[in-house]
Each structure stands twice: as structure tokens, then as C-alpha cells.
Amino acid sequence: MGKITYKITAGITPQRLDTYISSRSGLSRSYIQRLLREGLILINSHPEKASYKIREGDLIEITIPDKPQSALIPEDIPIEVIHEDSHIIVVNKPHGMVVYPSAGHPGGTLLNALISRLERPSLLGGPLRPGVVHRLDKDTSGIMILAKDDTAYINLGKQFRERSIEKHYIALLYGILRKDHGEIKTPVGRSISDRKRMSTKTRKGREAITSFRVLRRLKCATLVDVRLITGRTHQIRVHFASIGHPVLGDKTYGKKTTIRLAQKSINFPRQMLHAFSLKFNHPIDGRSLEFTAPMPKDMEKAMEELMET
């Protein structure tokens, strides 16, 4: 059993209990609600509902049960490990791979590939996503960091919340972006018309900031370096689609999967988005670390085809 304790201090914004715990711990709200139902979260020594509004002076005590790892089955899937020590592991996730199991993807995930390497995985992310402090979409490739213990998980989660982790992506966008650099500062939330999609047209948008710099202009496309200031779901894809320059190959936002030219057509079977670098402080000794993953071969090929036209 693991224990987490929070003491609510003065000046806290009134909010639901499950929302507060999720923002502090990185636990999913569904997992928190399950712990509440099982009586494993107490407020001032008493159980409460997820909708309970926290207030100054509240003492929140969370018990994280030990879970058997049999639900997360190790699989012999090769993964490029860029760095590994006793507390963290940094990998280059290939495109087409889901980070952790779900109803639609029970196996073949990044965590199925890595679970045997985690000596004592942090369970704070939940039994099916131990150590996951951030994630990449299935069809986004690149740098990811995972925590190998609870202390690393909590510290990395704090760095992500405080926006001290520097994340850079490279993206191949549809069309010619005229500005050499800029910032998109449009709130992102659930789409009004389709709850499965994110959008800038939303009733409850959250602050979202994307900084970009043009690396190269090509025929009908632009290669950009993107720095995520915030980390909303599908933020890069939604933001660039909102200004008329969707990520090439994105089947959800923009749907620019083919560029048809006079000489030939160029197909983009997956979104041309790659997590290029990650800079952060080591969660235990505090030293500054930076890791990069080169552009994958399918993006290089797309670049070459665009340059040949």
C-alpha cells in the first residue's frame, strides 16, 4: 500500500475533490473515483463523494492499493531506450504504438514492451499505466519519459504542471506558413459538435499555448519546430488546424492525407508529428537533462518527396 497526503492551505480555488487530486497527483479521475468508492480516500478522516468541494484546512489521505501486475502482460517488443537509470526511463516511441492498454488496445503497447524493465513501477498512474506522467498519441512518434518509482512520478508530474519541462516537436504542416515564428494562444476543449474531438470552438476551453518557428518551407508544406507551453489533448494538431495549416496526415483534424500535384500525388499515411526533444531536471538529483530523437524515416521520406516536386 502507498500513501499520499495533501493539506489544503489558504487561497485554494474551490473545486471538486477528484479534480484537485488528479491535478496534484496525476491519477486519472476515473481511478480516483474508484478509490473513493472503495473508501481509500478520506477527507478529515471521513469518506466523501467525488463532487465534494475542498476547503481550507481539509486533510486528504489517499491509500494506493498494491495491484498485481498480471493485468499488464510483458511482451517481447523492441523499443529504443535512449536513457535509463534507477528512477526514470526515456524512450523513442515509434508511431503506430499506443502508450498503455485500453479497451481498444489490450496489448502491443509501450507499457507491455517496458513493464519487465521496471523493477518497482510507480502505480500512481493506475494499474494499467504505471509510471506514465505524459503520453503521445498513437500516431505521434518520439521522446517519452516514464517514472520507475513513486518519488520520480510525483516530481516529474510537478515539473509538467509547473511547465518547467521543455518539450519540442517537429511537424510537417499543410500549406505555406507565412510567419517565421509565432504563438497560438487559443483555448482548447471538447468540441461542441463532436465530444470525441478536441476543438478551439468549445464551451469549456482550457488555456492552451503553442509556440512555433519555421524550419523550412517546401512545396505546399511547411516544416516547423513546435514548443508546447501547455499540454492539452491534441493541442498541436488542433491549434494548427484552427489557423488553416493542419498537420499533414492527420485523419481527425484537417484530413490532409494527400497532396496532389501536377506531376504526382504524395500520401501521408500517419500524422507528420514527432516529439523531437525533452529537457527536464532529474527527479531525484535535480541535474538538468536533455534528450533528442531524430526525425523518423517516414517523415524524412515525405520531406524528400516534397523537395523533389
What pLDDT is attached to residue 242? Answer: 96
pLDDT at residue number 238? 97
Residue 245: name the closest of 163, 201, 179 by CA: 179
Taking alpha carbons only, the member of 293, 306, 298 closest to residue 174 is 306
The full DSSP string for 175-205 is S----SEEEE---BEE-SS-TTSEESS-SS-
pLDDT, tens digit, 9 for 90 and up, residues 23-54: 888 777 888 888 898 889 999 999 899 999 99
pLDDT at 154: 86
pLDDT at 101 over 50: yes
Least confident of 116-120, 143-147, 165-169, 285-289: 116-120
Which pLDDT belongs to residue 262? 74
285 is catalytic: no
CATH fold match for the domains 69-161 and 166-308: yes
**pLDDT category, 74, cuts 50, 70, 90?**
confident
pTM above 0.85, yes or no: no
- Rounded CA gap, 272 and 306, in Å? 13
Rounded distance, CA 166 to CA 24, Å?
20
Q: Which fold has domain 69-161?
A: Pseudouridine synthase (3.30.2350)
Per-range mean pLDDT, top range of 111-120, 196-205, 220-229: 220-229
pLDDT in tens, 246-262: 999 999 998 889 988 77
CATH architecture of 166-308: 2-Layer Sandwich (3.30)
Among 66-80, 173-187, 229-243, the minimum mean pLDDT is found in: 66-80
At the topology level, CATH places domain 2-64 in 3.10.290
For 175-199, what is the mean pLDDT? 92
More confident of the two residues 193 and 90: 90
Cell 508529428 belongs to 273
**Range name among 101-105, 144-148, 245-249 with the lowest pLDDT average:** 101-105
Give yes or no for residue 68 having a pLDDT over 50. no
Nine-digit cell string for 113: 514492451
Q: What is the mean pLDDT of residues 280-287?
A: 95
Cell numbers 501486475 correspond to: 69
For helices 17-25 and 29-37, angle between their N-to-C axes, nearest 10 degrees: 120
DSSP string, 248-296: TT-TTTT---EEE-SS-EEE-SS--EEEEEEEEE-TTT--EEEEE-PPP
User: What is the reported pLDDT for 70?
Assistant: 46
Q: Where are the domains of the chain?
A: 2-64, 69-161, 166-308
Taking a C-beta distance cutoff of 8 angstroms, is the pair 89, 64 a contact?
no
Give the pLDDT score at 235: 96
- The three three-digit cell numbers of residue 207, written as one number: 488555456
Q: What is the pLDDT of residue 69?
A: 44
Q: 67-76, 184-193, 202-211, 268-277: lowest mean pLDDT where?
A: 67-76
Q: Which of 18, 58, 137, 250 is catalytic?
A: 137
Under DSSP, is residue 164 helix (H, G, I), strand (E, B) or coil? coil
Q: What average pLDDT does the chain have? A: 89
Average of per-residue pLDDT across 279-307: 94
Between 68 and 108, the more confident residue is 108
